[in-house]
Amino acid sequence: MMRMVTGNYAVAYGALLSRVDLIAAYPITPQTFIVEHASEFVNDGLLDAEFMRVESEHSAMSACVAASATGVRAFTATASQGLALMHEVLFIAGAGHLPIVMPVVNRTVASPIGIWAEHNDTMPQRDTGWMQVYCEDNQEVLDMVIQAYKIAENKKVLLPIMVNLDAFILSHTVEPVNFPEQSKVDKFLPRYKPEHVHLSPDDPMTVGSFAPPEYIQEVRYQTEESMLNAKKVIQEVNDEFAKMFGRNYHGMVEEYRTEGADAILVTIGTVTSTAREVIDEYRAKGKKVGLVKLRFFRPFPIEQFIDIAKRTKAIGVYDRSISFGSGGPSFIEVKSAIYGHTSIPMINFLAGLGGRDVMSDDIELMLDKTLEAAKTGKVEKDVVWIGTRGVTP
């Protein structure tokens, strides 16, 4: 059934279709409607879930961790400062192998306080043991909430996951979204029955024991192993979903018109849609450019980028966030991934920070600079700020 809905509604409906057992959430702009819609679903009897309207995001994540450790499917959603407040708790879910799904409406983290799209909320959560996927439109948002549980609960993975959507550009924008049937989703995503963790007096288990150095390093290795296993599982779940529902997101990355491209632009989040249009225009003019949509940031698609880098002459990477003193997080990761496999030039483009619009002109500039690098084999500046007052790109 096709319906016109916002990204936030798509998120909440995804949770409903996933038959989550427990929701613990705290409102924050621009995520609020997710909590409101979920409240309506529960109060109207459409979703049979425990709903904890907690007093902070720290408590929202704590409740999800406790519930998941007890053995149920847990759900929350947040944004920006709320995610920053959860930071401490995120590590427990990662190392604890608790497959919690959390949509994050990507919003700028203060200061200055703002409410629009930036990825500086989720990017700093890189090392918490959470998987991260970034969505381009509201259909993908709905589909990824469902896929997220399937990936997270896979026995080879058992890790939590953030499903990311850009503030307002998706969260508050109405788009046509195809709603899958509940019976089909039930078939795709069976009930969660954990074997690795539970809290039950019938079979006492200690979860989160105090541990000496003799044991902690192995726990770290297990989280890494799960993260690496996830790469294969993400693709398998993608393919199974595509077969069942007819929508293919291509797993860790999606390539768009990369055949024979001299210059490839890597984008993340909603900017991808704008970039597709510009790529089409350039291709129509005979310019050899292609696009890679970076979907999963954790685990990072290292193998895919090694392959892509070998097929092109220059790579530009767009970031909606910066790691101060180094560059955009996606840029740093792509560069690290392809090191030693190729020596093609790479440029980082920073634009749209704080939620400023990224226009087709900006994408053109990115493509032109990457094409120039492909031609000369050199880059003037590694990190290029686009549309910044007083700064020449």
Partner 1 sequence: MSLKIKDLPEENLFTKGHTACPGCGGAIMAKIAMKVFGKNTCAYFPANCLLVFGGTYPLNAFKVPYLHVLFENSAVCAAGIKRALNKLGKEDVNVVAFAGDGGTADIGIQALSGAAERNEDIIYICYDNEAYMNTGIQRSGSTPFGAWTTTTPVGSKIAGKERFKKDVPRIMIAHDVPYVATASISYPLDLLKKLEKVKNMKGFRYLQIFAPCPTGWRLDPSKTVEIGKLAVESGMWTLYEFENGKMTINKKPKMIPVREYLKPQGRFRHLTDEQIDILQELVKKKWERDLAMAESTH
Q: By CB under 8 A, name the binding residues for partner 1.
A: 21-22, 24, 49-50, 52-56, 58-59, 62-72, 74, 88-89, 92, 198-201, 203-212, 215
For residue 26, the minimal CB distance to partner 1 (Å) is 10
* CA–CA distances in Å: residue 45 to residues 40, 41, 42: 8, 6, 5
CB of 116 or CB of 192, closer to partner 1: 192
Q: What residue has token string 């550009």?
A: 169
What is the nearest approach in angstroms of partner 1 to the Cβ of residue 332? Answer: 30
CA distance 69 to 207: 7
What is the smallest separation between the CB atom of 57 and partner 1, expressed in angstroms? Answer: 11
- Cβ(269)–Cβ(119) below 8 Å: yes
Minimum separation from the CB atom of position 52 to partner 1 (A): 6
What whole-number distance in Å separates Cα of residue 230 and Cα of residue 218?
18
| Omega cis (within 30) before 194 | no
Q: Which residue, 72 or 347, is less far from partner 1 as judged by CB?
A: 72
Amino acid residing at 49: A
Q: How far apart are CA 53 and CA 34, in angstroms?
A: 13
| C-alpha to C-alpha distance for 289 and 258, rounded to whole angstroms | 7
Smallest distance, partner 1 to C-beta of residue 22, A = 6
Cβ proximity to partner 1, 100 vs 263, nearer residue: 100
For partner 1, the closer of residues 91 and 385 by Cβ is 91
Q: Which of 201, 231, 202, 194 lies closest to 97, judged by CA?
A: 194
Query: Greatest CA span in the chain, whole angstroms?
Result: 69
Is the Cβ of residue 92 or residue 266 nearer to partner 1 in the bound state?
92
Secondary structure of residue 195 in the 3-state scheme: coil
Nearer to partner 1, 74 or 317 (CB): 74
Min CB(146)–partner 1 separation in Å: 20
